[in-house]
Amino acid sequence: MKIIDPASIPAEQMKKLPLFFQPGYFGYVSDSRTKCLIIADDNGVMVPLRIYRRFIFNTGQFLFCPMRFDGRPVETEEKVFLEKLIVFVRKKRMCDVLLAPIHVCLFHGSPKGAIVSKLGIISLGLEESSDTIFSGFSKTYRTQIKQCEKAGFQINMTEKHLEIFFDNYKKHHVRQKKAYESIAGMQKLLSGMPENAKLFSVINAAGVWEGGVLLLYDRHRGYYLIGAKNEDSELHNGSQKFLHWNIILFLKNKQVPFYNFGGHRYDLENQDKFSSIQDFKMKFGSRIEEGIHFYIILSPKYHLYKTLIRLKEKAG
């Protein structure tokens, strides 16, 4: 196993890899406390990681699953690679824990000692004609999208609406008491990867912003990264469907074969908010790609930390 400098990979070779291996993406997720690197074996399998300081621990996170220049390694090869990777990371003392990536990919399997969870990705194939894809939407979606078209809704693909997109995204996350990306981070991504990142906004006939999606895309897939909708205004029932339909058309024009809507969680209650979000995505005619995510604790002190956290939670 060895660490590879992304700058050492020829541009034509780098283009064969997902954008999460690219220097531009490394620039987006890096800061003064975070470094990104690619680790490869002698058989041409490689994986991008980020390492950052959190509390007293060095935390590692996969940015994507293992890849070769010619595609995914088979399941057995991936498992062997992951086992060797864990040994290498431990030996180099790179991090105390290694976390799963965001919901842009899935693993076939996991190394020994990993804590595993079943996960799906909601994915829509884009290789059929636009008419065929559209016919796979629910009838309600098709009707509402046509209503938006007739009403004069428009799609903007510039950064003109970045501020209102961010304000509504932040407002929603504050209400949910969840962490959120900074507007500077969004701007860094859009300016640093102009061929891989795009902000889509849907504007109604009165010129009011109703929602937006920060999209990532490469030759392999389009990735729904961040979404937001107008938190203070009544929205047309079809505006968000119209937005995704135009993203699909954009990706088809770029000859991107799949659109990833994000992760699919199993065993949710019907009333769970995530269940309704998943239902929304599935009605585009999507399917669920199945796989796993995992994290693995690499140091005794992190094991102790997790134990103390669990005891504190039980104590109330």
Residue 283 lies in a domain: no
Q: CA-CA distance, 146 to 43, in Å (whole number)?
A: 51
Note whether 155 and 201 are within 8 A (CB): yes
C-alpha count within 13 angstroms, C-beta hemisphere, residue 54: 13
Note whether 98 and 115 are within 8 A (CB): no
What is the pTM for the complete model shown? 0.91
Last residue of a domain, one of 240, 256, 272: 256
Question: CB 153: neighbour CB atoms within 10 A?
Answer: 20
Task: Write the pLDDT tens digit of every residue in 116-138.
Answer: 999 999 999 999 999 999 999 99
CATH number at residue 195: 3.40.630.30
Does 13 lie in the same domain as 56? yes
Q: CA-CA distance, 130 to 136, in Å (whole number)?
A: 10
Q: What is the mean pLDDT of the chain?
A: 92
Which residues in 5-126 belong to E strands, given as ranges?
Answer: 34-40, 46-54, 57-62, 97-99, 115-125
Residue 277 lies in a domain: no
Residue 56 lies in a domain: yes
Q: What does the chain come to in residues?
A: 316
pLDDT of residue 173: 92
Task: Write the pLDDT tens digit of every residue in 75-107.
Answer: 999 999 999 999 999 999 999 999 999 999 999
pLDDT of residue 292: 94
Does 63 lie in the same domain as 13? yes
Q: 104 — phi, psi (to 5°)?
A: -115, -10
Confidence of residue 200 (pLDDT cuts 50, 70, 90): very high
CATH number at residue 9: 3.40.630
Does 146 lie in the same domain as 95? no
CA-wise closest residue to 228 among 246, 214, 248, 242: 214
Range of the structural domain that residue 104 is part of: 2-119+291-315
Question: Running DSSP on this structure, what letter comes out for residue 254?
Answer: T
Task: Write the pLDDT tens digit of every residue in 20-67.
Answer: 999 999 999 988 789 999 999 999 999 999 999 888 889 999 999 999
Q: 57 — phi, psi (to 5°)?
A: -115, 150
Residue 279 lies in a domain: no
